[in-house]
Structure 1
Amino acid sequence: MKSRRSGVRLVEGGLRAEADIGGNPPARKAVRTAKLAAVPLSFAGRQVAGAGKRALGRPASEIDREIQLRTAEHMADVLGELKGCAAKLGQVLGVYELALPPELAEPYRIALGRLQDAAPPMLPRTVHTVLEASFGPDWRASFREFDDRRSASATIGQVHRAVWHDGRAVAVKVMYPGARAAVDSDLRQLRGLAWLTPVFAPHVDGHAVVDELAECLRAEMDFEAEARNQRRFAQAYADDPDFVVPRVVAQRGDVIVSEWLDGIPLSRLITTGSRAERDRVGMLAVRFFWSSAPRSGLLYGDPHPGNLRALPDGRLGVVDFGACPPWPPAQFPALVHDLADALIHGGPAELDAAAQRHGFTDAQRGLDSAGLAEKLLPFTELLRHETFRVDTTWLRGRTRDALSPKLDNAYRQLGVPAYLMPFQRALVTLLGLVAQLGTTGPMRAEILRWSPELSAVMDRCAPTP
Structure 2
Amino acid sequence: MSDEQSTLQGRLARYARVGTAMGGVAARMAGERFLGLKLEREAHAAELRTALGGLKGPLMKVAQILSTIPDALPQEYVQELAQLQSDAPSMGWPFVKRRMTAELGPSWQSKFQSFEKGAASAASLGQVHRAIGHDGAKLACKLQYPDMQSAVEADLRQLRLVFGIYARYDKAIRTDQIYDEIGARLREELDYALEARHMALYGDMLSGVEGVHVPAVVPDLSSKRLLTMQWVDGRKIIHFKDADLETRNRIAVNMFRAWYIPFYEYGVIHGDPHLGNYTVRDDLDINLLDFGCIRVFPPRFVEGVIELYRALESDDMERARHAYELWGFKNVTNELLDVLNIWARFVYAPILDDRTRSIEETNSGRYGQATAAKVHEALRKVGGVEIPREFVFMDRAAIGLGSVFLHLRSEINWYRMFHELIEGFDAAKLAERQAAALAKAGVPGQP
- TM-score w.r.t. the length of structure 2 is 0.76
Select which of 278, 300, 305 maps to 1:336: 305
Q: In the alignment, what sits opposite 1:406? A: 377
Q: Corresponding residue for 1:423?
A: 394
Rounded to whole Å, the distance in 1 between the matches of 2:218 and 2:42 is 45
**SS at 1:264's partner residue?**
coil
Trace 1:308-457 onto structure 2 (pairs within 5 A): 308-326=278-296, 328-356=297-325, 359-362=328-331, 367-383=335-351, 384-391=353-360, 394-404=364-374, 405-407=376-378, 413-452=384-423
- Specify the alignment match of 1:283 in structure 2: 253
Partner of 1:237: 206
Structure-1 residue corresponding to 2:140: 171
Q: Which amino acid aligns with 2:272?
A: D
The one-character-per-residue Cα deviations of 1:421-442 (angstroms, maximum 9, x if unpaired) are 3323333322233234333222
- Measure the CA separation in 2 of the matches of 1:182 and 1:162: 28
Query: How many Å apart are 1:354 and its aligned residue?
Result: 4.4
1:314 Cα offset (Å): 1.6
Paired residues of 1:85 and 1:214 also in contact (CA < 8 A)? no
CA distance in 1, matches of 2:422, 2:378: 35
2:275 to 305, 325, 328: 305
1:17-416 superposed matches below 5 A: 27-35=10-18, 37-38=20-21, 68=42, 71-72=45-46, 75-76=48-49, 78-95=51-68, 112-113=82-83, 115-117=85-87, 119-194=88-163, 207-238=176-207, 240-250=209-219, 251-266=222-237, 268-269=238-239, 276-293=246-263, 298-326=268-296, 328-356=297-325, 359-362=328-331, 367-383=335-351, 384-391=353-360, 394-404=364-374, 405-407=376-378, 413-416=384-387
CA distance in 2, matches of 1:388, 1:411: 34
Question: Structure 1 stretch 391-400 or stretch 340-349: which is displaced more?
Answer: 391-400
Where does the alignment leave 5 or more consecutive residues of structure 1 unmatched? 1-19, 21-25, 46-63, 456-465
Quick one: distance in 2 between partners of 1:396 and 1:99?
18
Q: 1:35 to 1:357 in 2, by over 3 A?
A: closer
8 Å CA contact 1:124, 1:148 repeated in 2: yes
Contact kept, 8 Å, 2:189 with 2:292, in 1: the verdict is yes
Distance 1:370 1:183, change over 3 A: closer
Deviates more, 1:446-455 or 1:92-101: 92-101
Task: State the identity %.
Answer: 25
Shift of 1:396: 4.1
Q: Structure 1 108/320 Cα, relative in aligned 2: closer, same or farther at 3 Å? A: same
Higher relative contact order (CA 8 A, sep 6+): 2
Q: Distance in 1 between matches of 2:16 and 2:193?
A: 30
Q: CA distance change for structure 1 residues 93 and 273 in 2, over 3 Å: closer, same or farther?
A: farther
Gaps of 5+ in 2: 4-8, 29-39, 427-447
Distance 1:207 1:87, change over 3 A: farther
